[in-house]
Structure 1
Amino acid sequence: MKVGLLMVFQNFEDGITDQGAWERDIHLGGLAEPLGFNTLSAVEHHFFNYAMSPDNLQYLSYMAAKTEHIGLLTGAVILPWHDPLRVVERMIVLDHLSQGRALFGIGRGLARREYDTFGVD
């Protein structure tokens, strides 16, 4: 069995700033490899504090520089909100930066607010 850690970037805590929430999830993500997790993944959500991660590839690229062996999984890139060719290019860059550790997870999305704000039907 393989086990992964999913970062969600939620900020429902009183007294913590958005920056603090990101710092917390960077710290927690950094614990995944030494604790023996096989993958580190990050969600993609936009426009509300349920999950403040509009660019999971950017987070995973940052974590690629801080880790050596753990798989880096997009959990997930929501394809209807992106140009698919640009997404593939960015995944290739992550794969190069991480020396082959990138894992590509895709999804359809679920929040109507995100679809409406992007103008996607």
Structure 2
Amino acid sequence: MGKKDISADQLISVIIAGIEDVKGQEISILDLREIENTVCDYFIICEGTSNTQVNAIVNSVQKKVSKELKDHPWHVEGEDNAEWVLIDYVNVVVHVFQKQIRQYYDIESLWGDAKTTLIETSY
């Protein structure tokens, strides 16, 4: 299965499952397709309670996407301090924050025109 065969919906659902596996919190999907000059189609934003959990979320997402879709991120940034890690799957970009860093940068407000979907978690 090549990269071209993976739909954004498939990728998003596997990413969300990877986040939920390690109890990532406050998961949002921002649909950027209607906005001009965006770098990708979707942002997935979530948070962890510590740098340990942020790293666990990042590892879980990468493992799950690799195992289920045989896909790997084009680029990963921010793992060193694990306050804000970006996982770039080209048309889907995942932002994993620590809570206070997420509040500070508030990228949901920066992309206020995006259609936002909040994912309900059961934990």
Higher-Rg member (1/2): 1
**What's the TM-score once normalised by structure 1's chain length?**
0.30
Q: Which protein, 1 or 2, shows the higher relative CO under an 8 Å CA cutoff with sep ≥ 6?
A: 2
Q: Counting strand residues as a fraction of each chain, which structure ranks higher?
A: 2
